[in-house]
Amino acid sequence: MSTSVGQPDSYARYEASRDAVAQNLTLNAVFPEWPFRAPCGFATIYEYDTVLDDQFGAVLAALVDKYGDDHVTLLVLSPDVAAYRDAYNIFPAFELSGSSIRNDYGRALWWEPDGESTGSLGTSIDVLAVTGSSEAWSVWAQRDWEIGILLAQDDRGDWQESGPPWFGRDLDLEDIRSPQGWGLPLTAEDLSTFWRYVRDKGSGSGQTGPLPSAGLS
């Protein structure tokens, strides 16, 4: 495929992509753990499918405009690299130019290696990490929790006016997840841990007071 930067073609370049993402995110984290390395920031929540939609490129473009990212790194953390190497001989990562991220994001996620639709990253991603070179923001999306989180240095910005729906930090996750009996059930402990992180690390300098209900009632 042709993008403004491209996909790693060697393990060395793939590891460079991992290293870039690891500046902002803990690569072996999974919710309810907090994957973001920044001591604090402002969290915006998206449905998982929204993060994988072509239109999410508009969110990233607005972030690039705000923070001046030269490039954006996409990294699939699950399935692991071996699965993609064995099945499609590709590395599950992309380095994309900030100037063309609006269009290149969806093209990268849904590119079909050798015309194999099952090889597109968007069909198989379980955990996706996205970071900008400014290190001012990052995105973590996890299929089993059915959500993605953007953590940015600012609470409000044009990315929230770019089209894709988003949710604030008072969200009850059960309002946007699959009905009970479908998908991964989240325990009260998982939800309590998750919302504690959102309060302490995803609400600027942290907030006091009760946590959002998060389906615990």
pLDDT of residue 117: 82
Continuous segment of H or E residues that includes residue 76: strand 71-78
- Residue 164: asked if its preceding bond is cis (omega within 30°), the reply is no
CA 66 to chain centre: 18
Q: 90-129: buried (b, 16+ CB within 10 Å) or exposed (e) per residue? A: bbbbbbbbbebbbebbbbbbbbebeeeeebbbbebbebbb
How confident is the model over 120-165, as pLDDT tens digits? 999 999 999 999 999 999 999 999 999 999 999 999 999 999 889 9
pLDDT of residue 181: 59
pLDDT of residue 4: 57
How confident is the model over 16-31, as pLDDT tens digits? 999 999 999 999 999 9
CB 79 within 8 A of CB 123: no
pLDDT of residue 182: 72
pLDDT of residue 214: 35
CA pair distance 41, 151, nearest whole angstrom? 6
CB 46 within 8 A of CB 158: no
pLDDT of residue 204: 86
Torsion of CA 194, 198, 202, 208, to 10 degrees: -150
Q: How far is CA 127 from CA 9, 45, 111, 167, 212, in A?
A: 21, 15, 18, 20, 25
Burial of 189 (0-12, 13-18, 19+ CB in 10 A): exposed
Continuous segment of H or E residues that includes residue 12: helix 11-22
Going from N- to C-terminal start, the domains of the chain cover 11-201
CA pair distance 47, 54, nearest whole angstrom? 14
Kindly give the parts of the chain with pLDDT less than 50. Answer: 1-3, 207-217
